[in-house]
Amino acid sequence: MSQHYELATFAGGCFWCMVSPFDEQPGIKEVISGYTGGHTENPTYEEVCSDTTGHFEAVQIKFDPAIFPYEKLLRLFWQQIDPTDPGGQFGDRGISYRTAIFYHNEKQRKLAEASKAELAASGRFQNPIVTEILPASQFYRAEEKHQNYYKKIPFHYNHYFEASGRAKFIRENWKRRKTDEELRQELSPLQYDVTRKNATEPPFKNEYWDHTEEGIYVDITSGEPLFSSTDKYDAGCGWPSFTKPIRRMELEERFDTSHGMRRIEVRAKTSDSHLGHVFDDGPGPDRARYCINSAALRFVPKEKLEEEGYGEFKKLFNGK
């Protein structure tokens, strides 16, 4: 396995929101929030936000290009931002919240320019793509309270992510959801009822409750990777149970009071499909038990991960 790491630096508005999309990807060693592109040394958060330092809020990513190439980082970066906004991002205005790609070498510059040109030619946005492509300069690590903010204060982070307008923009511009008619044609009646009508399949009479093959479980409606067999266990409840998702950013949790109960519903962000519920009686350190309907999932065996476009997850099964 390669251990040759490179650096990528992106400015996408508030750096709180630019960590989680990259943080849980395979091949990503570290994501640091910080400041770059300005004219003062060791600036503080308050100084940068005052728009007097010239710095951008940015993230610096240490990644293994053999596992997660720079081209994929670029695609993921574009999908977090409004690249047509010259004055900031969403609710955050000012020069420190502008978007930019900071290249670390000539190869990154060429790839960034090509990626920007491809996006402009795609017709996805009517307005010009204004995200700058700039040479990387000194990067200053932000104060510790800003590092991994989405993990430290998840409630405030999730509220801010929605209230700022970023979440809505991403859903409307970057995440294609299938129509109700398409889903009715593609899914079985049970799969449709579970994913679209919040139904629950019978325990012990579903496809994956006692499934032990190695591989990953993806959203049956969008194909997004959700859970791995490495985190699956028998909770005795009759439904597939997992201690954690592959990527927490792919899930959305909502308070559910249906059927006279108080539960936390789990939905897939990309497709808005109902998956199941999460409880706090699991065996892991987080005590999480993701109790998921088989009808909301499709299984991809580890031997077919590359073939079906999920090759980046082969590392979950290294040595197995």
| Span 33-87, pLDDT tens digits | 999 999 999 999 999 999 999 999 999 999 999 989 999 999 999 999 999 999 9
pLDDT at res. 24: 76
Asked if pLDDT for residue 26 goes beyond 60, the answer is: yes
- Grade residue 293 by pLDDT with cuts at 50, 70 and 90: very high
User: Angle at CA 56, nearest 5°, toward 55 and 57?
Assistant: 125
59 and 200 in a single domain? The answer is no
Single out the residue in 141, 173, 205 at which a domain terminates.
173
Q: Which of helix, strand or coil describes residue 103? A: strand
Single out the residue in 173, 193, 212 at which a domain terminates.
173
In a domain, 74, yes or no: yes
302 and 218 in a single domain? The answer is yes
pLDDT at res. 2: 46
Single out the residue in 126, 145, 173 at which a domain terminates.
173
pLDDT at res. 167: 84
Q: Which of helix, strand or coil describes residue 177? A: coil
35 and 77 in a single domain? The answer is yes
163 and 184 in a single domain? The answer is no
Asked if pLDDT for residue 3 goes beyond 60, the answer is: yes
Active site amino acids: 14, 291
- Grade residue 276 by pLDDT with cuts at 50, 70 and 90: very high
pLDDT digits 0-9 by tens, 168-204: 898 788 876 788 899 999 999 999 999 999 999 999 9
127 and 209 in a single domain? The answer is no
pLDDT at res. 319: 58
**pTM of the predicted model, to two decimals?**
0.67
Calpha distance 269→253 (Å, rounded): 9
Give the domain CATH number at 191.
Answer: 2.170.150.20
Per-residue pLDDT, averaged over 96-102, amounts to: 98
Chain position carrying tokens 């409307």: 172
In a domain, 1, yes or no: no
pLDDT digits 0-9 by tens, 152-173: 888 788 788 888 999 889 878 8
pLDDT at res. 1: 39
CB 77 within 8 A of CB 63: no
In a domain, 293, yes or no: yes
pLDDT at res. 176: 67
pLDDT at res. 102: 98
CB 9 within 8 A of CB 23: no
Mean per-residue pLDDT of the chain: 92
Backbone angles phi, psi at 191, to 5 degrees: -60, -40
Residue range of the domain that includes 286:
180-317
High-pLDDT (> 90) share of the chain, %: 73
184 and 49 in a single domain? The answer is no
Q: How many independent structural domains does the chain possess?
A: 2
Out of 13-27, 190-204, 293-307, pick the least confident.
13-27
Q: Which of helix, strand or coil describes residue 90? A: coil
